[in-house]
Amino acid sequence: MESVIIAGGGPTGLMLACELRLAGVDVLVLERLAEPSGESRAGGIHARTMEVLDQRGMLEPFLAEGRVLQAGHFAGLRLDFSGFDTRHPYLLAILQRRVERLLEEHARALGVRLRRSVEVVGLRQDTSSVRLETTAGDFEAAYVVGCDGGRSMVRRLAGVDFPGTPATMTAILGDVELAAPPPQAVFQQRTPVGNYSVIDFEPGWYRVMTNEFGVVADRDSPITVDDLRSALNRIAGTDFGLHSPRWISRYNDAARHAAAYRSGRVLLAGDAAHIHYPAGGQGLNTGVQDAVNLGWKLALVVQGRAGEELLDTYHAERHPVGARVLENTRAQTALTRPDAHTEALRSVFGELIALDDVNRSLGLMIAGLDIRYPLGDGHPLLGCRVPDYDLPDGSRLYEHLHAARPLLLDGPVQRAPAIAAGRVDVVESKTEALLIRPDGHVAWAEPMGEAALRTALDKWCGA
């Protein structure tokens, strides 16, 4: 019997597999596709995702293949990331196919087993295991995690509800070549019919996107270059001489959220748990961060070092994050509608977003830097991510999280050696002490006291 089976070998599934292997848990990834699709899909990773990759010592290859963009956007309105308290105050433009390749390379180096051409078709669970029926035979595992996308078979078979709102518009994305490109990049150009973007994403080709409201196409119907050409002509008045498509996709603003991220021994992460319009580029990032929240918790439970109640904190912490992403993407969709009322709203909102406090609030949300998990009110830092910073010994804080173990920054009181009992890594700090979970969030802080530290160690660091 396998310890953990992950259904889905996209960014979320691969990141989760890496987290489990770092903790010493054997993991098998089952992927429906016979080989990587090569589709570009998502186009960037935000600051918090770069931080969690940095926490694992994985970031450098991503930086080498990406392109730094100093700003993001909210419904096409510019957000300045440059002043944020992070080593990565920017958006890294990098295609999802590159992200998947780098994650797969890292996962294989850690010993993750990945089997392709395996599709889940049945699922049964009891109090001790989960049995998967697949096109390659039956598999049994202590736990199964569905990372198999918005149409997740694991979610359906586990009987988890997926409520939400239906589509109200149709968008088309194409990676194409252009014979007559615009003189400069166009981003969410608004017209009375809809809006469009033309971006020179990588040398030799362009990413073209169209949005039309009040038209909901069948997502299962075939999509062709002529559909994109027609949409561009309707909205922009020209097709820019598009030809030689590399990839074309149709999507919409349907937004749905799993009622539970856990059903017994089955868990959900990434698009299997939440789908939404890709406004602000948050989907891939939210999934990777789901994985980093879940991985170390699932490892402790699998190894018998924590009870199953620890897995309930995954839903408690990540479900509100997913709900907020759905909320802000719905708001962004509403702000892009091509009518006079929305235009007036955008005018007012544009003035507000120019204010530093508004820009900061929205920017931190889109970048994932303001997430605070509900760990209590004993200290203002509880539940917050800890930024990377230099330590007295010359190392960086995030370097001490590479092994995905809890970290105690031991302050002047020097209490750690007596009560940490080998469950955490200890690093000397000249300032206040902090207990940092493997996902980089604060679980205890000075001066909450030794009793609170013991409680936090027992809850988050395993027996």
194-204 pLDDT tens trace: 999 999 877 88
CATH among 3.50.50.60, 3.30.1490.20, 2.40.50.1020, 3.10.105.10 for 2-164+256-367: 3.50.50.60
Task: Put residue 326 in one of left, alpha, beta given phi > 0 → left and psi -120 to 50 → alpha.
Answer: alpha
pLDDT at residue 152, rounded to an integer:
98
Name, in order, each residue with C-beta under 8 angstroms of 200's C-beta and a sequence gap of 6 or more: 181, 185, 206
**Could you tell me if 2 and 265 are in contact, meaning their C-beta atoms sit under 8 angstroms apart?**
no
Residue 136, CA distances (Å) to 28, 31, 33, 120, 207 in order: 14, 11, 13, 9, 37
Sign, CA torsion 259/260/261/267: negative
Does the pLDDT at position 243 exceed 70?
A: yes
Out of 208-222, 293-307, 316-330, least confident range: 208-222
Tokens 């789901």 map to which residue?
290
DSSP 217: -
CA-based nearest residue to 440, from 103, 84, 99, 49: 49
pLDDT band at 41 (very low <50, low <70, confident <90, very high): confident
Does the pLDDT at position 369 exceed 70?
A: yes
Name, in order, each residue with C-beta under 8 angstroms of 309's C-beta and a sequence gap of 6 or more: none
Distance CA 44, CA 281 (A): 7
282-315 b/e (C-beta count within 10 Å ≥ 16 → b): bbbbbbbbbbbbbbbbbbbbbeeebeeebbebbb
pLDDT at residue 418, rounded to an integer:
58
Question: Could you state, in order of their start, the residue ranges of all structural domains in the chain?
Answer: 2-164+256-367, 169-251, 397-460
Average pLDDT rounded to a whole number, residues 406-419: 71
Does the pLDDT at position 277 exceed 80?
A: yes
CA-based nearest residue to 249, from 223, 216, 212: 223
Average pLDDT rounded to a whole number, residues 280-301: 97
pLDDT at residue 312, rounded to an integer:
98
Enumerate the H helices of 128-178 as residue ranges. Answer: 153-157
pLDDT band at 309 (very low <50, low <70, confident <90, very high): very high
Average pLDDT rounded to a whole number, residues 125-133: 97
Q: Which CATH class is domain 169-251?
A: alpha beta
pLDDT at residue 220, rounded to an integer:
80
Residue 87, CA distances (Å) to 91, 265, 327, 397, 445 in order: 12, 37, 28, 12, 23
pLDDT at residue 284, rounded to an integer:
96
Q: Let me know if domain 397-460 sits in CATH 3.40.30.120.
A: yes
For residue 377, the SS3 value is coil
CA-based nearest residue to 138, from 127, 129, 147, 149: 129
pLDDT at residue 42, rounded to an integer:
83
Average pLDDT rounded to a whole number, residues 298-317: 97
Out of 110-119, 179-188, 247-256, 404-413, least confident range: 404-413
